[in-house]
Amino acid sequence: MSAVHNEQTKLLATARNNIAFAYVVIGFVTPMTAASFGVASAPVMRIENAIFTVVWLWTGCTLHYAARRALPSMKP
């Protein structure tokens, strides 16, 4: 039973980490890249946009931390 539990735990951690990665890419990397390349449709860098970007980054980091916290429950 522990092998099944370990695989389910790894699957949960992987799913959470993939969602975290998507949050970071969508909310942080994409706006920063668009602004640095001067894309015409990129949002103007204002304080509201900076806060929005930081919130997306923070959410991604929090989800990544949740994924890491799932792994210690694995059984030998």
Rounded Cα distance, 28 and 60, in Å: 9
pLDDT tens column, 3-34: 899 999 999 999 999 999 999 999 989 888 88
In a domain, 76, yes or no: no
Domains held by the chain: number: 1
Q: What is the largest CA-CA distance in the chain?
A: 55
The model's confidence at residue 68, banded by pLDDT at 50, 70 and 90, is: very high
**3-class DSSP assignment, residue 30:** helix
- What is the pTM (predicted TM-score) of this model? 0.81
Structural domain that includes position 28: 2-71
Rounded Cα distance, 23 and 60, in Å: 5
In a domain, 26, yes or no: yes
pLDDT tens column, 28-61: 898 888 888 888 777 677 888 889 889 999 999 9
